[in-house]
Amino acid sequence: MSARRPPPLQAVLFDKDGTLADFQASWPPIFRRLAHELAEGDAARAERLLVQGGMDPLTSRVAPGSVLGAGNSRDIVDLWFPAAEVAERARLEARVNEVFVTEGVEALPIAGLGAMLDLLRMRGFRLGVATNDSTAAARAWLGRIGLADRFEAVIGYDAVANPKPAPDMVESFCRTAGVDPGGVLMVGDNLHDLHMARSAGAGAAVGVLTGNGRYEDLAPHADAVLQAVVDLPSWLFATD
């Protein structure tokens, strides 16, 4: 963990997969089914798509910063179908989003998540989600785990002009929550999250190790790197 302490903060903006949800326990099987479908049942082609997207064929681990690890549905389509026409790309993106809504809803939340969110709200923090998943998929998942009402804003890649690592999601959250970027803490498992925070002028950025980001990659860009998001209050309130 970094020694840097948090500045005065009013709000926390969370990434979803790898931060609120256990990425490795949830997403590789979904990616495999998606690749098999889009490869039209060709197992060898599906495996090539997965490797191209950043998945290790032996361990199913997803590489940090890869398209499957940090990209959005549009990025996946662009990578897997670079020659597709505009209309076909739109159809494929819609299908990827549909799969992520129907299957991603079963992603496993980090243990203790609800209690941690309630503690932050009790301490007066405004909460939001900024994800490279679609807004619909994020809302569906939060509804399924019973935590949708903890967040003032849920912002997917399709809700802004420029998704992560651009600052748009932080700026959108600030407008909704009525806070300045300097009062926002961004929490995520990937460099895209930390770079977004810095580009938006967020007050602090914290990395977590429940996704595909590695400590050595996250630490130079973060005010702290925590084992899991539920460790956040210990860092935030250490100087109370």
Instruction: Note down pLDDT in tens along the chain; length 240 residues.
Output: 444 555 689 999 999 999 999 999 999 999 999 999 999 999 999 999 999 999 999 999 999 999 999 999 999 999 999 999 999 999 999 999 999 999 999 999 999 999 999 999 999 999 999 999 999 999 999 999 999 999 999 999 999 999 999 999 999 999 999 999 999 999 999 999 999 999 999 999 999 999 999 999 999 999 999 999 999 999 999 855
What's the domain range around 131? 11-22+107-236
pLDDT of residue 3: 42
- Among 53, 84, 104, give the residue marking a domain's end: 104
pLDDT of residue 2: 46
- Whether residue 1 is contained in a domain is answered as no
- Whether residue 187 is contained in a domain is answered as yes
pLDDT of residue 6: 58
- Whether residue 6 is contained in a domain is answered as no
* Per-residue b or e along 83-117, where b marks 16 or more CB atoms closer than 10 Å to that residue's CB: eeeeeebeebbeebbebbbebbeebebbeebeebb
Q: Are residues 226 and 145 in the same domain?
A: yes
- How many structural domains does the chain have? 2
- Among 77, 104, 131, give the residue marking a domain's end: 104
- Whether residue 85 is contained in a domain is answered as yes
CA angle 163, 24, 34 (to 5 degrees): 70
- Among 48, 74, 104, give the residue marking a domain's end: 104
- Whether residue 43 is contained in a domain is answered as yes
- Whether residue 141 is contained in a domain is answered as yes
CATH number of the domain encompassing residue 140: 3.40.50.1000
Q: Are residues 130 and 150 in the same domain?
A: yes
CA angle 65, 68, 69 (to 5 degrees): 40
Q: Are residues 230 and 138 in the same domain?
A: yes
- Whether residue 2 is contained in a domain is answered as no
Q: What is the pTM of this model?
A: 0.94
